[in-house]
Each structure stands twice: as C-alpha cells, then as structure tokens.
Structure 1
Amino acid sequence: MTIYDNAQVSDWQREPIRVDNLLINFTTEFLSIWDTYGSNAEPASFWRPTPAADVLPGYFPLGDVVHPGRDNINNKKVVAVVCEASTPAADPEKGKALSAPTDFELVWKDSGSGATKNGSVWRPLPPEGYVALGSVCSNSHEKPSRNAVRCVRADLVSASATCDLIWNDKGSGARQSISTWSAAPPVAASGEMHLAPGTFAGVSGYALPANFLVYSLRLHLAVRVNPKPTAPVLLGVTPEPLHAPEQPTYTARLPWFAVKDPLFTPLEQRDHSPFYQLERTDHYVLVGHGHNSGQDSTTFRWSAQRAQRTRGQWAFSTLTSIEFGVQWGAQTLSPFLFSARLSHELTQCEMPNNEWLDTSAIDVVAVVDSHKAVAVYLIQSDYSLVRADGTPVTTTFSYTDGRSLHISQYTPGAPASTVAVAPEARVPEVTDIPATDNDSATPLAETALEEVTDTAP
C-alpha cells in the first residue's frame, strides 16, 4: 500500500512517498563523476545523485545518471532517491526494503578512448531477493564503494523488457564498447503506478542482451473512502432540501510528477505542490416528486439529465494529463517516465457498466397509488483536482450514475418508505468508438426505469 508520511506544510518538499517500509523522495543535486571530454564519442557526462544530508538524511541513489552532454545538470534534472523507513515492513518476514550490493561487476572502462580522465561503469550485484535499478560510474578503473547505491527488495519493483537508448561510446576508440539505457515502465493495472527511477543501465556492446530486464518502482494509488451519502427519506408531501456533503466520498493522492499543472513547471511543482488530491464527492440529486391526492392511481414522468459531458472530461485530461479508465504517462516536459491508472472504484469506468460516454437523458416513470407522495433521486459524483494547499487546478466536472436510482414514498399518516429500484435497460444503439490504450470504450444504452407502486398501507 502506498501512503504519504505526514509533514508540516513548510516541509512539503521533504515529504516522502511510502511503499511498505520504503521511502521515496527526489533530489536535483548531483556530483560530477566522469565525462567524455577528450574522446571522439558523442559528448556525455555521468553524475551521482547526492541528496543533501540536512534535507534528506539517510537517502541513497538507486544508480547513477548519464546525461547526453557535458553541461551541468544540477537543479535541471530530478531523480528518485530512497531511504529505509524507521518502521518495519507490514510482513516482518520480508525484511528490509533496501540493501547494499554484495559486489560490483565491470561493464566497461574507457581504456583507449582518449578521454582526459579515467572512467568505468559497474553493475551492482544485489543480494538474493533484491534487484539493482541502475548502474554506477567510477572516476577510476576501480570498483565504487558499496555505499554508492542501494538495491531494492524485489516485491517493491516491477520488471520491464522495454528500454530507451541514452548514449553509447561509438567513435570513442576505447578497447571495450558500451551502451546506456533508461527503463521504460510496464503497463499499469487499475490502481497502480510504475515509476522509472531516472538512472541508467550500462550494457557491454551496442545491443541489448536477450531477456534483459530493467526495473521501475511500484506504487499503489491508494484511495481513501469516506461514508457514502445517506439516501434521502420523504417525510412529507414535498421533499426537504438536500444538504451538501461535508467531505469527499473518495480521495486519491497523486504525486506531483503524475499531474500537469498549468501554473507550474514540473520542478516548480515539486516545491509548490508535491502532491495533488483527486476528489470525488457523491451526493443525491432530486429527479422529481409528485403527490397523488386523487382516489385512483396516477402516473408521474420525469426526465433526468446526466451530468457527464464528453468535452468536460476531455478538457480535464488535456489540462492535467490524468486519464479516466485508461493508462496515462509522462508528458513532454515530465522529469520521469511513469505509467499510472486510477482505480475503477474511483473513476466508475469499469466495463461493461461505463456510462461516461452516455449523455442521454434518463426517463423515469412511476405509478403512484392514491393519497401517496413519491420522490425520485439519482447519485451525482462531482470530481475536482486540488493542490496541496487546497486550491483547485481545474473546474469541477460531474457524472450521473444511471444505476443509482432511489425512490422514497410517503403516505400521510403513515411512516415513510423507501424503495431502491434497478433500471430496466433498453436495447442499445451502439456506436463504435476507438479503443484507447489497452481498454475498449463502448457507450452504455439509455435506460428506462420500471414502473413502481407502493404496497405500504
């Protein structure tokens, strides 16, 4: 389970993401280790993340960073760093989240390259049950210190066979050859996020070996659930006013790098809003009510407009990059590669009951016995995205759940009764809509609700 440690507002930038007993934070501070100056290879420089001890005490890099150029990357690039939590894992038998490598294996050294400084690249060898998420560079031909990097427990990461080339030493003249690669995170399941750490994997030669795996940090997009709204009860001929909910029904907390904010650059987000909250507030809305004061049964009809608008959700996704029902990932300016997918519980996008594409009205028909009153309600969900300080990122957009019909009936002189009625589906007119990512998107048919009579005395 992914949670966030509580912190004072002034310490937002230090607030870690916690996954079991693993703490994840971010740094923009680096130490230059080696560069290709003097070599005929394409320019590149190797850097070690160095989280400041007074800001992020106890944090370690997951590996070094290779930059295709020799300019200074301090305060221009951000990478993940990790720390062991002070409390143990939920399952104590799993042990510590982090471990130093047992040793290093040489991948490449620059002998013969003509570079003005010696350099070498090493692969950390993790202990059993752990994996290395990045290679390490040395400013000599000697092994780096085992404290230069930490390996992560295998259940806290996700594997992927997809990599992107960062740099290789073609033209360097070195007696050995090397290519460096970045991890591309795997496809995210519902409620999951995979974060590539921003390190590199060094490989001997210019092609990836068969079955070569890279790793991303595995996060869970946990959803906090509050009590659902209480169904209204008709206590008289006329319904009483409905009260606005005091708190969201569902809340998902998203890390800063997963959200595009129109007010800030990604690095500014890290300081101004290290997390965002996607809130869903459920509340009942009155569809209609009626009072049959006659001697015979009578029919009441209402038409309820759905709150969802295709353009509203599209505008939200365009502005924030967050998608409903499908995976989303890094934008052009994002500092990380990641994949994420919100839970169906939060988004109400689970097939085949996805009604987001259905904007048609809901027709309600009720047959009411004599001297009885009836009120009909539906649940509307309002979605909003807010920053860490509570300010909204976008306007609110809404969704009406056509399956949430609630009927309350009242007989003067008798206790009120409530009846929950399931809608009866009409035959749908289906329009083919192109699938997005790995999900298919098909509109749900317009629904007609069955006629109801009250059997109360």
Structure 2
Amino acid sequence: MDHILLGDGYASGMIDLGGLLVCQISSFNKVWATHEGGPGNLGASFFEPSPLPHGFYMLGCYSQPNNIPFYGWALAAKPTKDNDDDPSSPLLRQPVDFTLIWSSEFLNIKKDGNGYVWLPTASDGYKAIGLVVTSSPEKPSLDKIRCVRSSLTDECEADLWIWGPGTASDANGFNVFSVRPSNRGTSAMGVFAGTFIAAQQNGGLSTVACLKNAAISNPQVSMPNLTQIEALLEAYSPFIYFHPDEVYLPSVNVCVLTVYFNGGFLQPSKMAENVEGISKRR
C-alpha cells in the first residue's frame, strides 16, 4: 500500500505511549507446560516473547490454557531517544532482584519437567508489568526483563482464569489469571500488556501493573487520519453487485439497502426508477 500517505505514528508497527514505544510480539519460545488442571483439565503453557526487535525489552511472560488454540501476544518496550536522556531516572530499568512465588516441584500432575514463577523486584519509583517463568530453580538474569517507571503504569486486576492445579479456581491455592486495566472506558489510559498475574497460595495477588498511555496531548497519535481512512476504504471496502433480474427488487429490501447506502428512505413513488440504476454500489 505504497500509495497511502502514512501519518505520524500510524502503521509503523509501534505505538508511542508518551515516551515509551511498544510493539506487539506474537512469536514465542515455550518455557514450561502442564497437562492437567485449569479449564478442561488440559493444563496451560507458558511462553516468553522471542525474538524481540532491536532495542526492545520483554516486560513479562505470556500464558494461556491448553483447551484453546494458540493465539497470544505480549508487548515489548523501549524508550524513545527524546524521553530517556536522564540516566538517573530512565523509563525502563532492570529489576533489583527476583522473588520465587511458586514452583511445581511438589506438584504431582502431568507436566514438562518443573516450572518456576518469579516476581521481579522493582526499584523505588518503578513497577513490574509481568512475571517471569523458568524451567530452572536458578534466578533469572536481571537483564531478562525491564520494569517501567511508575508514571507510565496504571492499576490492573485479575481477569480470566488461565490455570490452577485443580479443575476450578481455588481461592486458597495457586492460580494464574490474565490481567486487565482496573480503569476502563473511552477516557481511560490503561494498556493491557499481554502478561499474566498469579494468586499465591496465601490468597494474595502478585503485584504487577498495566502500562498507561501517557501521550495526553494526543492520545490518538497512532490512529489513522482521514486521508488514510479514505485510502483504506478505497483499497479494501467490498463492492456489492445486484443482478438485474433480482426477484426481491423492487421490494422493502430496496428501502433497506437505500437506507444503508444513502442514509435516508426512498419514497415509494421513487423506488422503481432507482432500482433500474442499481448495478454496483459500495
């Protein structure tokens, strides 16, 4: 579509959330899987996004239940050059440590070896966006993931149940949930990053956050402008053809079609003369 005049931020493969560039990654390396528990008692799989574009960092692993086809994605992020010139307070920062919140070592179910779920410990003024899953009891490298400056994050909450050792969510056991922004709506700025949250065996949720669109001056910077929308419609909108011997014309269908295309009703006396002229309409 070289004939389309691209606008700022549109169709670039990245979205600027106010100094933080994010891109959607839908290719993964499988880290660990279990084949029991969760929806349908079919287990769940855990992935890390890979490969990442140059300069982008993982924000957290992705997980989904095994009773549905694979379809997932996760966001990766990097700072823009104009918004990361303060080395004392970068937009992204390595965690200072990892805390093991759960392992499958003592879980007697079908599984691909053992899995370990880690919560990044963020520096003051930063928040973790997701968790890290490994197949080894050794702590992940601190360079594995990045935490995000708190000003670019928003509160999130547990959404859909992904997995737990049983066939139903146990409020007193370990559970994995997808997340969603707590504040939602047309004016809300929360951004789902494709990560997950874990409820620990004491019932508490791991403390992770969603991203926030801090591009307050122009939150629609990555949306298409009018010229681009018109070009997209010209390239992809369907044509509708009417056969001249269509048995249902003229009829009430003519009025319905005319309302759809022209935005108003035809008077009955005008229906016949308009039917003759219909051959191809968008």
TM-score range, shorter chain: 0.5 to 0.7
Residue 105 of structure 2 corresponds to residue 111 of structure 1: yes
How far apart in 2 are the matches of 1:67 and 1:276? 31
Q: Which has the higher helix share?
A: 2
Partner of 2:29: 31
Contact 1:59 1:83 in 2 (8 A): yes
CA distance in 1, matches of 2:45, 2:82: 37
CA offsets 1:24-63 (integer angstroms, 9 cap, x no match): 11111101000014x56631110001144xxx21111211
Structure 1: how far apart are the matches of 2:24 and 2:147? Answer: 17
Residue in 2 that maps onto 1:50: 50
* Change beyond 3 A, Cα 1:141–1:222: same
Corresponding position: 1:179 with 2:127: no
Partner Cα distance (1:112, 1:389) in 2: 58
Which residue of 1 is the match for residue 213 of structure 2? Answer: 219
Describe the shift of the 1:8–1:109 C-alpha distance in structure 2 as closer, same or farther (beyond 3 A): same
Tell me if 1:157 matches 2:150: no
**3-state DSSP of counterpart to 1:253:** coil
Deviations 1:228-258 (A, max 9, x none): xxxxxxxxxxxxxxxxxxxxxxxx7365xxx
Residue from 187, 197, 201 that aligns with 2:197: 201
CA distance in 2, matches of 1:27, 1:389: 27
Aligned to 1:144: 140
Question: Given the superposition, is the C-alpha separation of residues 193 and 180 from structure 1 closer, same or farther in structure 2, using an over 3 Å criterion?
Answer: same
**Larger relative contact order (CA 8 Å, sep ≥ 6):** 2
Q: Which structure has the greater CA radius of gyration?
A: 1
Unaligned runs of 5+ in 2: 238-259, 264-282
Cα distance change of structure 1 residues 191 and 388 upon mapping to structure 2, 3 Å threshold:
farther
Distance 2:155 2:63 in 1: 21
How far off its partner does 1:109 sit? 0.8
* % identical equivalent positions: 23
Secondary structure of the equivalent of 1:205? coil
Question: Which position in structure 1 is the counterpart of 2:271?
Answer: none
The letter for the 2-side match of 1:78 is W
* Change in 2 beyond 3 A, CA 1:397/1:181: farther
2:226 pairs with 1:253: no
Q: Supply the RMSD in Å over aligned alpha carbons.
A: 3.9
The answer for the alignment partner of 2:96 in structure 1 is: 102
SS at match of 1:87: helix
Corresponding position of 2:273 = none
Q: Distance in 1 between matches of 2:194 and 2:58?
A: 10
Q: Is the 8 A contact 1:88 1:95 kept in 2?
A: no
Task: State the Cα deviation string for residues 117-143 of structure 1 (Å, max 9, x = none).
Answer: 121111110111100011110012221
Question: Unaligned stretches of 5+ in structure 1?
Answer: 1-6, 225-251, 256-274, 280-384, 399-457
Over 3 Å counting, the alpha-carbon distance change for 1:19 and 1:117 in structure 2 is same
Who is 1:125 aligned against? 121
CA shift, 1:146, in A, is 1.7
Seen in structure 2, the aligned counterparts of structure 1 residues 16 and 140 have a Cα distance that, compared at 3 Å, is: same
**Distance in 2 between residues matched to 1:193 and 1:388, nearest whole Å:** 27
Report the alpha carbon displacement of residue 82 of structure 1 after superposing the two structures with TM.
Answer: 0.6
8 Å contact 2:128–2:147 — kept in the other structure? yes
1:402-456 CA distance string (max 9 Å, x none): xxxxxxxxxxxxxxxxxxxxxxxxxxxxxxxxxxxxxxxxxxxxxxxxxxxxxxx
Give the Cα–Cα distance (whole angstroms) in 2 for the partners of residues 8 and 25 of structure 1: 18
More strand by share: 1
Q: CA deviation at 1:160?
A: 3.2
Aligned residue for 2:65?
68
Contact 2:103-2:115 within 8 A present in 1 as well: yes
Aligned mate of 1:81, from 64, 76, 79: 76
Amino acid of the residue matched to residue 145 of structure 1? S
Contact 1:165 1:182 in 2 (8 A): yes
1:319-374 Cα deviation digits (max 9, x unpaired): xxxxxxxxxxxxxxxxxxxxxxxxxxxxxxxxxxxxxxxxxxxxxxxxxxxxxxxx
Counterpart Cα distance in 2 of 1:223 and 1:151: 24
